[in-house]
Chains A and B, each alone.
Chain A
Amino acid sequence: MNPTARYFRNIGKGFWTVLIGMKVTMRHLFTPAVTIQYPDARMAIPERGRNRLYVNMDDCIGCDQCAMACPVDCITIETAKSLPTEDLGVTSTGQKKRLWVTQFDIDFGKCCYCGLCVPPCPTECIYMTNVFEFSDYDRKNLIYSFITLTPDEVAQKDKQAREAEREAAAKKAAAAAAAAAQKAAQAAQKPSPSPVEPPQKPTPPQAPPVQPATSTAQPSTSSDLPSVPTDKKVENPEVKPGPEPPSSAVNGSPEGKVD
Protein backbone atom coordinates (compact mmCIF):
# COMPACT_ATOMS: atom_id res chain seq x y z
CA MET A 1 0.00 0.00 0.00
CA ASN A 2 1.43 3.33 -0.86
CA PRO A 3 2.25 5.73 1.96
CA THR A 4 -0.56 8.12 1.21
CA ALA A 5 -3.19 5.42 1.42
CA ARG A 6 -1.59 4.12 4.60
CA TYR A 7 -1.66 7.61 6.08
CA PHE A 8 -5.37 8.01 5.51
CA ARG A 9 -6.09 4.48 6.59
CA ASN A 10 -4.26 5.08 9.87
CA ILE A 11 -6.29 8.18 10.53
CA GLY A 12 -9.49 6.31 9.85
CA LYS A 13 -8.47 3.39 12.03
CA GLY A 14 -7.43 5.76 14.76
CA PHE A 15 -10.83 7.37 14.91
CA TRP A 16 -12.69 4.14 14.64
CA THR A 17 -10.79 2.47 17.48
CA VAL A 18 -11.23 5.50 19.70
CA LEU A 19 -14.96 5.27 19.18
CA ILE A 20 -14.96 1.56 19.97
CA GLY A 21 -13.03 2.28 23.16
CA MET A 22 -15.46 4.97 24.14
CA LYS A 23 -18.32 2.57 23.66
CA VAL A 24 -16.66 0.03 25.97
CA THR A 25 -16.03 2.62 28.65
CA MET A 26 -19.57 3.92 28.42
CA ARG A 27 -20.94 0.44 28.79
CA HIS A 28 -18.81 -0.10 31.88
CA LEU A 29 -20.02 3.15 33.33
CA PHE A 30 -23.38 1.48 33.80
CA THR A 31 -22.27 -1.95 34.94
CA PRO A 32 -22.60 -2.37 38.70
CA ALA A 33 -19.38 -2.02 40.61
CA VAL A 34 -17.71 -5.19 41.77
CA THR A 35 -16.39 -3.64 44.94
CA ILE A 36 -17.47 -5.20 48.23
CA GLN A 37 -17.57 -2.48 50.83
CA TYR A 38 -15.75 -4.00 53.75
CA PRO A 39 -16.54 -3.88 56.67
CA ASP A 40 -20.18 -3.30 55.89
CA ALA A 41 -20.17 -6.34 53.65
CA ARG A 42 -17.84 -9.27 53.66
CA MET A 43 -16.80 -11.86 51.16
CA ALA A 44 -17.66 -15.47 51.88
CA ILE A 45 -14.90 -17.38 53.64
CA PRO A 46 -14.12 -20.84 52.25
CA GLU A 47 -15.73 -23.52 54.35
CA ARG A 48 -12.47 -25.31 55.15
CA GLY A 49 -10.35 -22.20 55.33
CA ARG A 50 -7.65 -22.16 57.96
CA ASN A 51 -8.11 -19.23 60.29
CA ARG A 52 -8.09 -18.83 64.05
CA LEU A 53 -8.05 -22.03 66.11
CA TYR A 54 -10.56 -22.93 68.77
CA VAL A 55 -10.23 -25.50 71.52
CA ASN A 56 -13.25 -27.12 73.12
CA MET A 57 -11.90 -27.73 76.61
CA ASP A 58 -14.69 -30.15 77.50
CA ASP A 59 -13.12 -32.65 75.14
CA CYS A 60 -9.48 -31.94 75.79
CA ILE A 61 -7.67 -34.80 77.50
CA GLY A 62 -4.34 -33.00 77.79
CA CYS A 63 -2.49 -35.43 75.56
CA ASP A 64 -0.14 -32.74 74.20
CA GLN A 65 -0.38 -34.11 70.65
CA CYS A 66 -1.30 -30.77 69.17
CA ALA A 67 1.56 -29.04 70.95
CA MET A 68 3.96 -31.67 69.68
CA ALA A 69 2.66 -31.41 66.14
CA CYS A 70 2.94 -27.63 66.02
CA PRO A 71 5.90 -26.63 63.79
CA VAL A 72 6.36 -23.25 65.46
CA ASP A 73 5.67 -24.31 69.04
CA CYS A 74 2.90 -21.87 69.63
CA ILE A 75 0.84 -24.19 71.85
CA THR A 76 1.81 -24.49 75.50
CA ILE A 77 0.11 -27.16 77.57
CA GLU A 78 0.57 -27.96 81.20
CA THR A 79 -1.40 -30.68 82.93
CA ALA A 80 -1.83 -31.97 86.45
CA LYS A 81 -2.73 -35.52 87.26
CA SER A 82 -6.06 -35.85 88.88
CA LEU A 83 -6.60 -37.80 92.06
CA PRO A 84 -8.28 -41.15 91.68
CA THR A 85 -11.22 -39.87 93.64
CA GLU A 86 -11.96 -36.96 91.30
CA ASP A 87 -14.30 -37.35 88.36
CA LEU A 88 -13.40 -35.10 85.47
CA GLY A 89 -16.04 -36.42 83.23
CA VAL A 90 -16.02 -38.06 79.88
CA THR A 91 -15.10 -36.67 76.46
CA SER A 92 -17.58 -36.74 73.63
CA THR A 93 -15.82 -39.80 72.25
CA GLY A 94 -16.41 -41.69 75.48
CA GLN A 95 -12.89 -41.39 76.88
CA LYS A 96 -12.56 -40.81 80.59
CA LYS A 97 -10.52 -37.70 81.34
CA ARG A 98 -7.70 -38.13 83.77
CA LEU A 99 -5.73 -34.93 83.56
CA TRP A 100 -6.56 -31.43 84.66
CA VAL A 101 -5.39 -29.10 81.95
CA THR A 102 -3.87 -26.24 83.92
CA GLN A 103 -2.45 -24.31 80.99
CA PHE A 104 -3.49 -24.29 77.35
CA ASP A 105 -2.11 -21.22 75.62
CA ILE A 106 -1.99 -20.67 71.91
CA ASP A 107 0.13 -17.73 70.79
CA PHE A 108 -1.58 -16.50 67.63
CA GLY A 109 1.35 -14.24 66.95
CA LYS A 110 3.39 -17.34 66.32
CA CYS A 111 0.71 -19.55 64.86
CA CYS A 112 1.26 -20.08 61.15
CA TYR A 113 -2.26 -21.40 60.55
CA CYS A 114 -0.97 -24.58 58.99
CA GLY A 115 -3.60 -26.75 60.66
CA LEU A 116 -1.15 -29.50 61.59
CA CYS A 117 -2.46 -29.55 65.16
CA VAL A 118 -5.96 -30.52 64.09
CA PRO A 119 -5.54 -34.12 62.85
CA PRO A 120 -3.57 -35.52 65.83
CA CYS A 121 -6.24 -34.59 68.37
CA PRO A 122 -7.93 -37.82 69.51
CA THR A 123 -11.15 -36.10 70.44
CA GLU A 124 -11.21 -33.49 67.64
CA CYS A 125 -11.44 -30.72 70.19
CA ILE A 126 -9.05 -28.34 68.42
CA TYR A 127 -10.16 -27.06 65.07
CA MET A 128 -9.88 -24.07 62.79
CA THR A 129 -12.71 -21.59 62.70
CA ASN A 130 -13.50 -18.95 60.09
CA VAL A 131 -12.54 -16.05 62.35
CA PHE A 132 -9.82 -13.92 60.77
CA GLU A 133 -10.47 -10.45 62.10
CA PHE A 134 -8.71 -10.47 65.46
CA SER A 135 -5.91 -7.97 65.14
CA ASP A 136 -4.73 -6.33 68.31
CA TYR A 137 -2.51 -3.45 69.27
CA ASP A 138 -0.47 -5.45 71.78
CA ARG A 139 1.27 -8.68 70.92
CA LYS A 140 0.61 -10.03 74.41
CA ASN A 141 -3.09 -9.93 73.72
CA LEU A 142 -2.62 -12.46 70.98
CA ILE A 143 -1.83 -15.21 73.48
CA TYR A 144 -5.18 -16.87 73.96
CA SER A 145 -5.79 -19.04 76.97
CA PHE A 146 -8.39 -21.75 76.59
CA ILE A 147 -8.53 -23.39 80.01
CA THR A 148 -11.76 -23.38 81.95
CA LEU A 149 -10.20 -23.54 85.43
CA THR A 150 -9.86 -20.38 87.45
CA PRO A 151 -6.37 -19.44 88.63
CA ASP A 152 -7.22 -20.58 92.14
CA GLU A 153 -8.35 -23.91 90.83
CA VAL A 154 -5.18 -24.20 88.78
CA ALA A 155 -3.04 -23.59 91.84
CA GLN A 156 -5.06 -26.07 93.82
CA LYS A 157 -4.85 -28.79 91.18
CA ASP A 158 -1.14 -28.28 90.79
CA LYS A 159 -0.63 -28.49 94.50
CA GLN A 160 -2.67 -31.62 94.95
CA ALA A 161 -0.92 -33.29 92.01
CA ARG A 162 2.47 -32.48 93.43
CA GLU A 163 1.47 -33.77 96.82
CA ALA A 164 0.06 -36.93 95.37
CA GLU A 165 3.25 -37.49 93.44
CA ARG A 166 5.35 -36.89 96.48
CA GLU A 167 3.28 -39.31 98.49
CA ALA A 168 3.52 -41.90 95.78
CA ALA A 169 7.26 -41.47 95.55
CA ALA A 170 7.62 -41.70 99.30
CA LYS A 171 5.49 -44.80 99.37
CA LYS A 172 7.44 -46.41 96.62
CA ALA A 173 10.72 -45.57 98.25
CA ALA A 174 9.47 -47.00 101.50
CA ALA A 175 8.27 -50.12 99.73
CA ALA A 176 11.56 -50.52 97.89
CA ALA A 177 13.50 -50.01 101.07
CA ALA A 178 11.32 -52.54 102.85
CA ALA A 179 11.76 -55.01 100.01
CA ALA A 180 15.49 -54.48 99.97
CA ALA A 181 15.68 -54.88 103.73
CA GLN A 182 13.63 -58.04 103.48
CA LYS A 183 15.83 -59.44 100.76
CA ALA A 184 18.94 -58.62 102.78
CA ALA A 185 17.46 -60.30 105.82
CA GLN A 186 16.61 -63.38 103.75
CA ALA A 187 20.09 -63.55 102.32
CA ALA A 188 21.60 -63.27 105.77
CA GLN A 189 19.43 -66.13 107.05
CA LYS A 190 20.14 -68.51 104.18
CA PRO A 191 23.71 -69.95 104.59
CA SER A 192 25.70 -69.17 101.54
CA PRO A 193 27.06 -72.41 99.92
CA SER A 194 30.68 -71.30 99.53
CA PRO A 195 32.14 -68.05 100.46
CA VAL A 196 34.72 -68.43 97.69
CA GLU A 197 32.14 -68.52 95.07
CA PRO A 198 32.66 -65.43 93.19
CA PRO A 199 29.73 -63.20 93.57
CA GLN A 200 29.99 -62.24 89.93
CA LYS A 201 29.62 -64.90 87.32
CA PRO A 202 31.80 -64.22 84.29
CA THR A 203 29.19 -65.61 81.92
CA PRO A 204 26.51 -63.23 81.09
CA PRO A 205 23.38 -64.06 82.97
CA GLN A 206 20.58 -65.36 80.84
CA ALA A 207 17.92 -63.13 82.12
CA PRO A 208 18.62 -59.61 82.97
CA PRO A 209 17.40 -59.14 86.48
CA VAL A 210 17.36 -55.47 86.06
CA GLN A 211 14.87 -53.75 88.16
CA PRO A 212 15.79 -50.19 88.67
CA ALA A 213 14.41 -49.45 92.08
CA THR A 214 14.59 -45.73 91.83
CA SER A 215 12.23 -45.49 89.03
CA THR A 216 9.03 -43.89 90.11
CA ALA A 217 7.99 -42.38 86.89
CA GLN A 218 5.35 -44.40 85.28
CA PRO A 219 5.06 -44.28 81.56
CA SER A 220 2.38 -41.71 80.96
CA THR A 221 -1.11 -42.26 79.84
CA SER A 222 -0.11 -43.17 76.36
CA SER A 223 -0.36 -46.70 77.47
CA ASP A 224 -1.16 -48.12 74.11
CA LEU A 225 2.20 -47.37 72.61
CA PRO A 226 4.61 -50.26 72.62
CA SER A 227 7.38 -49.50 75.02
CA VAL A 228 10.96 -50.60 74.96
CA PRO A 229 11.29 -53.75 77.05
CA THR A 230 14.28 -52.55 79.08
CA ASP A 231 12.01 -50.76 81.49
CA LYS A 232 9.93 -53.66 82.47
CA LYS A 233 11.08 -56.58 84.42
CA VAL A 234 11.38 -59.47 82.04
CA GLU A 235 9.66 -62.54 83.40
CA ASN A 236 10.04 -64.85 80.52
CA PRO A 237 13.43 -66.55 80.77
CA GLU A 238 13.39 -67.57 77.13
CA VAL A 239 13.64 -64.01 76.09
CA LYS A 240 17.21 -63.33 75.06
CA PRO A 241 18.43 -60.07 76.35
CA GLY A 242 19.78 -57.65 73.79
CA PRO A 243 22.50 -55.57 75.21
CA GLU A 244 24.38 -56.41 78.29
CA PRO A 245 22.42 -55.21 81.22
CA PRO A 246 23.66 -52.02 82.73
CA SER A 247 26.18 -52.18 85.50
CA SER A 248 24.66 -53.71 88.51
CA ALA A 249 24.99 -50.56 90.46
CA VAL A 250 21.75 -51.33 92.10
CA ASN A 251 22.91 -54.28 94.06
CA GLY A 252 26.26 -55.88 94.51
CA SER A 253 25.29 -59.43 93.73
CA PRO A 254 22.94 -60.59 91.13
CA GLU A 255 19.67 -61.24 92.77
CA GLY A 256 19.66 -64.71 91.70
CA LYS A 257 19.43 -66.28 88.39
CA VAL A 258 16.06 -67.09 87.15
CA ASP A 259 16.13 -70.58 85.89
Chain B
Amino acid sequence: MHNFITYYLGTGVLSSLLSSLLPILFVFGYALVAMYLELKISAHMQDRLGPMRTGKWHGWAQPLADVVKLLQKEDTIPTAADKPLYILAPLLVFMGSYAAYAAIPFSPAYIGADINLGVFYIIAVSAIVVLGILMAGWSSDNKWSLLGAMRTAAQLVSYEIPSSLAVLSVVMVAGSLNLNDVCSAQTGWFWNWFIFGKFPFLFITFVIYFIASLAETNRSPFDIPEAESELVAGYHTEYSGMRFAFFYLAEYANMFTVAAIAAVLFFGGWNSPFGTFMSGPIWGAFWLITKGMVLVLVQMWLRWTLPRFRVDQLMYLSWKILTPFALADLVAVGLWTVLR
Protein backbone atom coordinates (compact mmCIF):
# COMPACT_ATOMS: atom_id res chain seq x y z
CA MET B 1 0.00 0.00 0.00
CA HIS B 2 2.85 2.27 0.77
CA ASN B 3 4.18 1.30 -2.64
CA PHE B 4 0.82 2.16 -4.08
CA ILE B 5 0.97 5.61 -2.54
CA THR B 6 4.58 6.19 -3.56
CA TYR B 7 3.67 5.14 -7.09
CA TYR B 8 1.24 8.01 -7.35
CA LEU B 9 2.84 10.65 -5.21
CA GLY B 10 6.50 9.79 -5.33
CA THR B 11 8.69 9.24 -2.36
CA GLY B 12 8.32 12.51 -0.65
CA VAL B 13 6.97 14.13 2.41
CA LEU B 14 3.40 14.01 1.16
CA SER B 15 3.35 10.31 0.50
CA SER B 16 4.99 9.58 3.83
CA LEU B 17 2.50 11.80 5.57
CA LEU B 18 -0.42 10.11 3.89
CA SER B 19 0.93 6.68 4.60
CA SER B 20 1.43 7.48 8.24
CA LEU B 21 -2.01 9.02 8.68
CA LEU B 22 -3.91 6.11 7.23
CA PRO B 23 -3.95 4.04 10.39
CA ILE B 24 -5.35 6.98 12.32
CA LEU B 25 -8.54 6.76 10.33
CA PHE B 26 -8.70 3.16 11.34
CA VAL B 27 -8.00 4.08 14.95
CA PHE B 28 -10.80 6.63 15.05
CA GLY B 29 -13.32 4.28 13.55
CA TYR B 30 -12.18 1.42 15.72
CA ALA B 31 -12.27 3.57 18.86
CA LEU B 32 -15.92 4.47 18.29
CA VAL B 33 -16.85 0.85 17.70
CA ALA B 34 -14.81 -0.34 20.68
CA MET B 35 -16.38 2.25 22.97
CA TYR B 36 -19.86 1.18 21.91
CA LEU B 37 -19.00 -2.49 22.30
CA GLU B 38 -17.57 -1.88 25.72
CA LEU B 39 -20.72 -0.11 26.86
CA LYS B 40 -23.05 -2.74 25.48
CA ILE B 41 -21.08 -5.83 26.41
CA SER B 42 -20.43 -4.64 29.91
CA ALA B 43 -24.14 -3.87 30.21
CA HIS B 44 -25.32 -7.26 29.03
CA MET B 45 -22.80 -9.07 31.15
CA GLN B 46 -24.36 -7.28 34.07
CA ASP B 47 -27.92 -8.13 32.97
CA ARG B 48 -28.73 -4.56 32.04
CA LEU B 49 -29.20 -2.78 28.74
CA GLY B 50 -26.59 -0.07 28.35
CA PRO B 51 -27.28 2.96 26.16
CA MET B 52 -30.62 2.61 24.40
CA ARG B 53 -31.73 6.10 23.46
CA THR B 54 -28.87 8.02 21.84
CA GLY B 55 -29.43 7.56 18.14
CA LYS B 56 -32.77 5.84 18.55
CA TRP B 57 -31.58 2.32 17.80
CA HIS B 58 -29.98 0.79 20.87
CA GLY B 59 -27.93 3.89 21.52
CA TRP B 60 -25.45 3.44 18.66
CA ALA B 61 -24.61 7.15 18.68
CA GLN B 62 -23.46 7.12 22.31
CA PRO B 63 -19.69 7.20 21.49
CA LEU B 64 -20.31 10.03 19.04
CA ALA B 65 -22.18 11.93 21.70
CA ASP B 66 -19.33 11.32 24.13
CA VAL B 67 -16.78 12.59 21.64
CA VAL B 68 -18.78 15.72 20.94
CA LYS B 69 -19.20 16.27 24.64
CA LEU B 70 -15.47 15.96 25.28
CA LEU B 71 -14.65 18.28 22.42
CA GLN B 72 -16.88 21.07 23.62
CA LYS B 73 -15.72 20.95 27.23
CA GLU B 74 -13.83 23.76 28.87
CA ASP B 75 -10.10 23.27 28.85
CA THR B 76 -9.08 23.67 32.47
CA ILE B 77 -5.47 23.79 33.54
CA PRO B 78 -4.83 23.91 37.27
CA THR B 79 -3.15 27.14 38.28
CA ALA B 80 -0.24 25.41 39.94
CA ALA B 81 0.22 22.91 37.15
CA ASP B 82 3.46 22.77 35.22
CA LYS B 83 2.00 24.08 31.96
CA PRO B 84 4.43 22.81 29.30
CA LEU B 85 4.50 19.32 30.80
CA TYR B 86 0.76 19.36 31.38
CA ILE B 87 0.06 20.14 27.74
CA LEU B 88 2.69 17.77 26.40
CA ALA B 89 1.70 14.72 28.45
CA PRO B 90 -1.45 13.60 26.58
CA LEU B 91 0.28 14.16 23.28
CA LEU B 92 3.16 11.92 24.28
CA VAL B 93 0.84 9.21 25.52
CA PHE B 94 -1.13 9.19 22.32
CA MET B 95 2.00 9.39 20.23
CA GLY B 96 3.49 6.37 21.96
CA SER B 97 0.33 4.37 21.39
CA TYR B 98 -0.07 5.42 17.80
CA ALA B 99 3.53 5.01 16.75
CA ALA B 100 3.23 1.28 17.23
CA TYR B 101 0.70 1.19 14.40
CA ALA B 102 3.50 1.89 11.97
CA ALA B 103 4.87 -1.59 12.31
CA ILE B 104 1.65 -3.61 12.43
CA PRO B 105 1.17 -5.59 9.22
CA PHE B 106 -2.45 -5.00 8.37
CA SER B 107 -2.20 -7.06 5.24
CA PRO B 108 0.51 -8.56 3.04
CA ALA B 109 0.21 -5.49 0.85
CA TYR B 110 0.12 -2.85 3.52
CA ILE B 111 2.39 -2.12 6.39
CA GLY B 112 3.04 1.42 7.53
CA ALA B 113 6.78 0.92 7.72
CA ASP B 114 8.40 -2.36 6.80
CA ILE B 115 11.03 -2.26 9.52
CA ASN B 116 13.31 -5.23 9.93
CA LEU B 117 13.24 -4.64 13.65
CA GLY B 118 9.44 -4.42 13.80
CA VAL B 119 8.92 -6.10 17.17
CA PHE B 120 11.80 -4.34 18.80
CA TYR B 121 10.56 -1.00 17.51
CA ILE B 122 7.09 -1.59 18.89
CA ILE B 123 8.31 -2.50 22.35
CA ALA B 124 10.64 0.48 22.43
CA VAL B 125 8.12 3.01 21.27
CA SER B 126 5.48 1.80 23.71
CA ALA B 127 7.79 2.92 26.47
CA ILE B 128 7.15 6.52 25.56
CA VAL B 129 3.70 6.02 27.06
CA VAL B 130 5.31 5.59 30.48
CA LEU B 131 7.05 8.90 30.04
CA GLY B 132 3.82 10.62 29.11
CA ILE B 133 2.00 9.19 32.09
CA LEU B 134 4.68 10.27 34.53
CA MET B 135 4.55 13.75 33.07
CA ALA B 136 0.79 13.84 33.44
CA GLY B 137 0.91 12.76 37.05
CA TRP B 138 3.68 15.10 38.04
CA SER B 139 2.49 18.22 36.24
CA SER B 140 -1.07 17.96 37.58
CA ASP B 141 0.20 19.14 40.95
CA ASN B 142 -2.12 16.69 42.63
CA LYS B 143 -1.02 14.07 45.16
CA TRP B 144 -3.40 11.46 43.85
CA SER B 145 -2.34 11.98 40.27
CA LEU B 146 1.27 11.66 41.29
CA LEU B 147 0.63 8.47 43.18
CA GLY B 148 -1.36 7.09 40.28
CA ALA B 149 1.39 8.01 37.86
CA MET B 150 4.09 6.41 39.95
CA ARG B 151 2.09 3.23 40.29
CA THR B 152 1.49 3.19 36.57
CA ALA B 153 5.13 3.67 35.81
CA ALA B 154 6.06 0.82 38.14
CA GLN B 155 3.39 -1.40 36.62
CA LEU B 156 4.25 -0.67 33.01
CA VAL B 157 7.94 -1.08 33.50
CA SER B 158 7.67 -4.32 35.42
CA TYR B 159 5.30 -5.89 32.92
CA GLU B 160 7.43 -5.04 29.95
CA ILE B 161 9.88 -7.74 30.97
CA PRO B 162 7.66 -10.80 30.75
CA SER B 163 6.03 -9.28 27.70
CA SER B 164 9.33 -8.88 25.90
CA LEU B 165 10.50 -12.32 26.94
CA ALA B 166 7.33 -13.85 25.56
CA VAL B 167 7.76 -12.00 22.29
CA LEU B 168 11.34 -13.17 22.17
CA SER B 169 10.26 -16.80 22.31
CA VAL B 170 8.12 -16.33 19.24
CA VAL B 171 10.88 -14.46 17.47
CA MET B 172 13.18 -17.40 18.09
CA VAL B 173 10.72 -19.74 16.46
CA ALA B 174 10.04 -17.43 13.54
CA GLY B 175 13.66 -16.48 13.08
CA SER B 176 13.08 -12.78 12.42
CA LEU B 177 12.02 -9.59 14.17
CA ASN B 178 10.15 -8.45 11.08
CA LEU B 179 6.43 -8.88 11.66
CA ASN B 180 5.72 -9.66 8.03
CA ASP B 181 8.12 -12.58 8.22
CA VAL B 182 6.46 -13.76 11.41
CA CYS B 183 3.13 -13.79 9.58
CA SER B 184 4.59 -15.56 6.59
CA ALA B 185 5.91 -18.30 8.85
CA GLN B 186 2.31 -19.15 9.80
CA THR B 187 0.75 -19.67 6.39
CA GLY B 188 -1.55 -22.56 5.83
CA TRP B 189 -4.38 -23.77 7.96
CA PHE B 190 -4.87 -22.70 11.51
CA TRP B 191 -2.86 -25.51 13.01
CA ASN B 192 0.19 -23.77 11.63
CA TRP B 193 -0.38 -20.90 13.97
CA PHE B 194 2.31 -20.41 16.54
CA ILE B 195 -0.08 -20.81 19.40
CA PHE B 196 -0.28 -24.49 18.58
CA GLY B 197 3.40 -24.81 17.88
CA LYS B 198 5.93 -26.40 20.21
CA PHE B 199 3.02 -27.43 22.35
CA PRO B 200 2.53 -26.52 25.19
CA PHE B 201 5.28 -23.96 25.44
CA LEU B 202 4.09 -21.43 22.94
CA PHE B 203 0.63 -21.65 24.43
CA ILE B 204 2.08 -20.70 27.81
CA THR B 205 3.94 -17.94 26.02
CA PHE B 206 0.69 -16.62 24.68
CA VAL B 207 -0.90 -16.62 28.11
CA ILE B 208 2.07 -14.78 29.58
CA TYR B 209 2.04 -12.25 26.77
CA PHE B 210 -1.68 -11.69 27.07
CA ILE B 211 -1.59 -11.08 30.81
CA ALA B 212 1.42 -8.82 30.50
CA SER B 213 -0.18 -6.84 27.73
CA LEU B 214 -3.34 -6.38 29.82
CA ALA B 215 -1.13 -4.72 32.40
CA GLU B 216 0.60 -2.67 29.73
CA THR B 217 -2.64 -1.12 28.65
CA ASN B 218 -3.85 -0.49 32.20
CA ARG B 219 -6.89 -2.63 31.67
CA SER B 220 -8.66 -4.40 34.45
CA PRO B 221 -7.72 -6.22 36.51
CA PHE B 222 -4.58 -4.09 36.35
CA ASP B 223 -6.25 -0.71 36.30
CA ILE B 224 -4.96 0.57 39.63
CA PRO B 225 -3.55 3.66 37.90
CA GLU B 226 -6.96 4.77 36.80
CA ALA B 227 -8.93 3.02 39.49
CA GLU B 228 -12.11 5.04 39.54
CA SER B 229 -12.97 4.18 43.07
CA GLU B 230 -9.52 4.60 44.51
CA LEU B 231 -7.57 7.42 43.00
CA VAL B 232 -10.42 9.39 41.50
CA ALA B 233 -8.95 8.88 38.08
CA GLY B 234 -5.28 8.44 38.77
CA TYR B 235 -2.91 10.30 36.53
CA HIS B 236 -5.61 11.84 34.38
CA THR B 237 -7.70 13.27 37.24
CA GLU B 238 -7.00 16.87 36.33
CA TYR B 239 -7.55 16.50 32.64
CA SER B 240 -10.78 17.47 30.98
CA GLY B 241 -12.20 17.84 27.52
CA MET B 242 -9.91 17.24 24.56
CA ARG B 243 -6.89 16.35 26.67
CA PHE B 244 -8.82 13.67 28.47
CA ALA B 245 -10.07 12.49 25.11
CA PHE B 246 -6.44 11.91 24.11
CA PHE B 247 -5.85 9.66 27.09
CA TYR B 248 -9.06 7.82 26.45
CA LEU B 249 -8.27 7.37 22.77
CA ALA B 250 -4.75 6.25 23.62
CA GLU B 251 -6.13 3.56 25.91
CA TYR B 252 -8.32 2.13 23.17
CA ALA B 253 -5.57 2.43 20.60
CA ASN B 254 -3.23 0.57 22.92
CA MET B 255 -5.78 -2.18 23.39
CA PHE B 256 -5.91 -2.82 19.71
CA THR B 257 -2.15 -2.58 19.32
CA VAL B 258 -1.42 -5.32 21.79
CA ALA B 259 -4.31 -7.40 20.46
CA ALA B 260 -3.01 -7.04 16.93
CA ILE B 261 0.50 -7.96 17.97
CA ALA B 262 -0.78 -11.02 19.79
CA ALA B 263 -2.74 -11.91 16.67
CA VAL B 264 0.34 -11.50 14.52
CA LEU B 265 2.65 -13.43 16.83
CA PHE B 266 0.35 -16.25 17.82
CA PHE B 267 -2.67 -16.41 15.58
CA GLY B 268 -1.26 -16.11 12.11
CA GLY B 269 -1.61 -12.37 11.50
CA TRP B 270 -3.15 -11.70 8.12
CA ASN B 271 -3.33 -15.38 7.23
CA SER B 272 -6.68 -16.97 6.75
CA PRO B 273 -7.38 -19.91 9.06
CA PHE B 274 -8.52 -21.92 6.07
CA GLY B 275 -5.32 -21.90 4.09
CA THR B 276 -5.79 -20.29 0.70
CA PHE B 277 -9.57 -19.98 0.99
CA MET B 278 -10.52 -16.39 1.76
CA SER B 279 -6.96 -15.14 1.59
CA GLY B 280 -5.44 -12.27 -0.28
CA PRO B 281 -4.38 -8.69 0.38
CA ILE B 282 -7.83 -7.40 1.32
CA TRP B 283 -8.86 -10.59 3.08
CA GLY B 284 -5.60 -10.27 5.00
CA ALA B 285 -6.67 -6.93 6.43
CA PHE B 286 -10.06 -8.43 7.29
CA TRP B 287 -8.48 -11.37 9.11
CA LEU B 288 -6.04 -9.29 11.08
CA ILE B 289 -8.71 -6.85 12.17
CA THR B 290 -11.06 -9.69 13.07
CA LYS B 291 -8.48 -11.49 15.14
CA GLY B 292 -7.53 -8.24 16.82
CA MET B 293 -11.15 -7.51 17.65
CA VAL B 294 -11.68 -10.97 19.12
CA LEU B 295 -8.74 -10.42 21.44
CA VAL B 296 -10.06 -6.97 22.31
CA LEU B 297 -13.36 -8.58 23.23
CA VAL B 298 -11.53 -11.05 25.45
CA GLN B 299 -9.83 -8.11 27.14
CA MET B 300 -13.22 -6.54 27.77
CA TRP B 301 -14.57 -9.84 29.00
CA LEU B 302 -11.79 -10.06 31.55
CA ARG B 303 -12.39 -6.50 32.65
CA TRP B 304 -15.94 -7.25 33.69
CA THR B 305 -15.07 -10.57 35.30
CA LEU B 306 -12.23 -9.83 37.62
CA PRO B 307 -11.79 -7.53 40.58
CA ARG B 308 -8.87 -5.23 40.64
CA PHE B 309 -5.41 -6.27 41.76
CA ARG B 310 -3.89 -4.57 44.73
CA VAL B 311 -0.66 -2.86 43.81
CA ASP B 312 1.53 -5.29 45.75
CA GLN B 313 -0.29 -8.26 44.25
CA LEU B 314 0.31 -6.69 40.87
CA MET B 315 4.04 -6.49 41.48
CA TYR B 316 4.11 -10.02 42.86
CA LEU B 317 2.41 -11.32 39.75
CA SER B 318 4.86 -9.66 37.45
CA TRP B 319 8.16 -10.35 39.15
CA LYS B 320 7.53 -13.60 40.90
CA ILE B 321 5.23 -15.42 38.54
CA LEU B 322 5.30 -14.05 35.03
CA THR B 323 9.02 -13.34 34.75
CA PRO B 324 10.26 -16.72 36.01
CA PHE B 325 7.75 -18.54 33.88
CA ALA B 326 8.65 -16.43 30.86
CA LEU B 327 12.34 -17.19 31.39
CA ALA B 328 11.74 -20.89 31.80
CA ASP B 329 9.52 -20.85 28.75
CA LEU B 330 12.16 -19.02 26.74
CA VAL B 331 14.72 -21.66 27.64
CA ALA B 332 12.34 -24.45 26.77
CA VAL B 333 11.35 -23.00 23.41
CA GLY B 334 14.95 -22.19 22.61
CA LEU B 335 16.09 -25.71 23.39
CA TRP B 336 13.29 -27.19 21.35
CA THR B 337 14.10 -24.94 18.39
CA VAL B 338 17.80 -25.65 18.53
CA LEU B 339 17.63 -29.37 19.16
CA ARG B 340 14.99 -30.12 16.53
Whether the pair B305, A33 counts as a contact (CB closer than 8 A) is: no
User: Within 8 Å of chain B (Cβ to Cβ): is A18?
Assistant: yes
> Which chain A residues border B49 with CB–CB below 8 Å?
33, 35, 37
Chain B nearest CB, measured from A9 CB (Å): 13
**Given known contacts A11-B321, A37-B52, A25 and B45 CB-to-CB distance under 8 angstroms:** yes
**Given known contacts A18-B305, A21-B305, A26-B301, A33 and B321 CB-to-CB distance under 8 angstroms:** no
Chain B, residues 212-253, CB within 8 Å of chain A (1/0): the string is: 000000000000000000000000000000000000000000
Interface residues in A29-44 (C-beta closer than 8 Å to B): 29-35, 37
User: Within 8 Å of chain A (Cβ to Cβ): is B48?
Assistant: yes
Whether the pair B306, A28 counts as a contact (CB closer than 8 A) is: no
> Which chain B residues border A26 with CB–CB below 8 Å?
45, 301
Number of A-B residue pairs, CB cutoff 8 Å, is 38
A33 to B302, CA, bound (A): 20
User: Within 8 Å of chain A (Cβ to Cβ): is B56?
Assistant: no
A149 to B281, CA, bound (A): 84
A21 to B301, CA, bound (A): 10
User: Within 8 Å of chain B (Cβ to Cβ): is A239?
Assistant: no
User: B interface, how many residues as a size bin?
Assistant: 10 to 19
Chain A nearest CB, measured from B47 CB (Å): 5
Chain B nearest CB, measured from A43 CB (Å): 15
A18 to B317, CA, bound (A): 14
Whether the pair B46, A28 counts as a contact (CB closer than 8 A) is: yes
> Which chain B residues border A22 with CB–CB below 8 Å?
301-302, 305
Residue of A nearest to B302 (CB): A22
User: Within 8 Å of chain A (Cβ to Cβ): is B304?
Assistant: yes
Which of A21, A31, A37 has a CB less than 8 Å from the CB of B306?
A21
Chain B, residues 23-52, CB within 8 Å of chain A (1/0): the string is: 000000000000000000101111111001
> Which chain A residues border B46 with CB–CB below 8 Å?
28
Give 5 A-B contacts (CB < 8 Å), ordered by A residue. Answer: A21-B306, A25-B305, A28-B44, A28-B47, A29-B41
The 10 closest A-B pairs by CB, nearest first: A21-B305, A25-B305, A35-B49, A33-B49, A35-B48, A25-B45, A29-B45, A34-B47, A29-B44, A28-B45
Residues of A within 8 A of B (CB): 11, 18, 21-22, 24-26, 28-35, 37
